[in-house]
Copies of this chain bind each other. A is one copy, B any other.
Amino acid sequence: MSLSSDWKTAGTVETRHAPQFRLQSVPLRAVTLAEGFWRQRRELNTRRGMPRFLASMEEHGVLDNFRYQSGRKTGQFKQASFISDSDVYKWLEGACWTLVTEDLPELKASVDAVIDEIAAAQGEDGYLATHVPPERRWKGLAGSHELYCLGHLIQAGIAHHRATGEETLLGVARRFADLAVREFGPGKIETPDGHPEVEMALVELFRETGEQSYLDLAGFLLHQQPSEDTYPPLADRDALVGHCVRSGYLCCGGADWYAETGESGIFQTLERLWQDLVQGKMYVTGGVGQRFDGESFGLPYELPNRAYAETCAQIAHAMWAWRMLLLTGQARFADVMELILYNGFLSGVSLSGAEYFYMNPLSAQDYQRSPWFRCNCCPPNIHRTLAMLPGYMFSTSSEGVWVHLYDACEALLTMPDGTVVRLEQQTQYPWEGEVELIVTPAAEVEFTLFLRIPGWAEAAQVTVNGQPVSAAVESGTYVELRRRWQPGDRVQLSLPMPPRVVEPHPRIAEVRGSVALARGPLVYCFESVDSPAAEILDLALAPTDAAGGFTAESEPELLGGVTVLRGTGRAVCSPCAQLDELPLYRSLGSRSLPPRHDVTALAIPYYAWANRGPSAMRVWLPREV
């Protein structure tokens, strides 16, 4: 086995030998979260989310499925969901990315034990899918998720290797991947799995091992028509279609393939699909997934408030956004990644860290998170995403150092030419828009510090050592601070965060005449527990300016510490018999509506809803004009 010796310095995506990546990922171990927003969540993920989920997997027999296979236990595969192998792999991946930055002997022991069970279950020829009886191998690829499970196994194996330098799980993954290489390809099995995922994993396995056949198989699968559906291969798609998670993972695979090969048609496709996403198929929360039927994309501008918006779909699209960012260095991709992470993704996990949403609606009643699902893809996907999140914050390039996300942390970044710079972020982001960056190269050195000015930020300001910079500071771009940096240089970034009233595109029927609130990267919502005077159902807003008359107020005791938006809403009597009795449909002008009156309205960050018992929630409220 010829493994890259660079495991300690690889990011979660290894960009260094891929010609098309403009930016380089940074290794997780280069970033240390300080007391801030994401550290709190990543800690909960480590201390509560992952241990509890492992215990639940044991309780539900998910690990027993491997033991039945190895003969260590007698019994038969018994999960309701046939993808439960992949749940284990995603959990492992999350645990391993966590071990990169945390010294946790207990977690390490759990990882070792789980890997041992997996390795023992592998077949002589490398095959490993506990839910597929021998005679069904590769026979039902449309629904079997065999390659999908292989993909997650590969990603777990790579994470384990990059975390520990150990090759046990990576070896298991390679043996299964080698089998796939032998059995899939031109003139062999030519139909890919119904659920893309293995493509990006195979590219990464090529990066990790240098073995060309993995890249070749990724490319082959990527250019075939997926077996489950009637949709064309990726390169032939004009629009986002079908199952959102499948589509998102396939786009990640396409981006990784393009990064290695420079096949320009694939990149043009990805650009086209990206436009389709942001111009008509993404919720204001960054949610992806308009339809319940098929967990699928809908038409452009079809965005019902009872969104499906599966947590996994948000994760897949954040992963895709990050890859597009690495390829291009364009801030529009970082904007979407940030939007998803703080909103549509983060709502997927409770403040307690161990209960999850599968769907992330924009309007709901009594919808609650759950610690366990029959189809359990989302929880361990959250685990691995929170574990690898520090890797999304920075990049390097030949030009210098890039800051994509703001949060209290310290990073030791190595540029491609070997220049090392220590970067410290001091900030209360996302609650406050002031970010101080302390730049500490080993010695004075010239490079560009690229600071992302979020698309939502108006009138951002940047100073270096107190002096305004001459570089252009425009929202939705990176401000480029090129200079000879001295140890201890201080950059002050100021991103004003007034509450923002957001209007939807006039083509979105489902939110026509409505507005939403946002502040900084956070989208807000109204929850019935905060609205004693007005049922959420009948609450309206009458914004007269861009901030809607709302003010931001820090509430350290509320919901783990949040900044709320307080302002004036317009309510009818509550409960309002007059509205209850109003006919569902009436002739224009035939009835007068009950008058509305002012009430105090309180909005909380969307990610924090449904943490105080059953409630009704709305992101969009009607605009009273």
Contact = CB atoms under 8 A, between A and B. Distances in A.
A293 interface: yes
Task: Kindly name the residue among A293, A502, A587 whose own CB sees the greatest number of chain B CB atoms within 10 A.
Answer: A587
Contacts of A284: 584-585
Contacts of A593: 506
Interface of A: 278-280, 282, 284, 291-293, 298-299, 301-302, 304-306, 363, 365, 456, 458, 500-516, 537-538, 543, 545-546, 548, 579-590, 593, 620, 622, 625
A140 to B, nearest CB: 17
A241 to B, nearest CB: 13
Contacts of A299: 365
A588 B514 contact: no
Given A279-B581, A504-B584, A505-B585, 19 more contacts: A282-B584, A284-B585, A291-B292, A298-B306, A304-B304, A304-B306, A456-B587, A500-B588, A502-B587, A502-B588, A503-B585, A503-B587, A505-B582, A506-B538, A507-B537, A509-B511, A509-B514, A509-B622, A548-B588
Given A512-B512, A513-B513, A587-B546, A506 B622 contact: yes
A594 to B, nearest CB: 10
A546 B589 contact: yes
Copy number in this complex?
2
A72 to B, nearest CB: 35
Contacts of A278: 584
Q: Nearest 9 A-B pairs (CB), nearest first?
A: A513-B513, A501-B588, A292-B293, A304-B304, A512-B513, A510-B510, A284-B585, A505-B584, A502-B585
A512 B514 contact: yes
Contacts of A507: 537-538, 579
Contacts of A588: 500-503, 515, 543, 545-546, 548
Contact of A586 (B279, B503, B510, B589): B503
Contacts of A508: 584
Nearest to A512: B513
A513 B112 CA distance: 59
10 contacts: A501-B588, A502-B585, A503-B588, A503-B589, A505-B582, A505-B584, A506-B622, A509-B510, A510-B510, A546-B589
Contacts of A456: 587
A543 B538 CA distance: 25
Nearest to A589: B546
Nearest to A363: B509
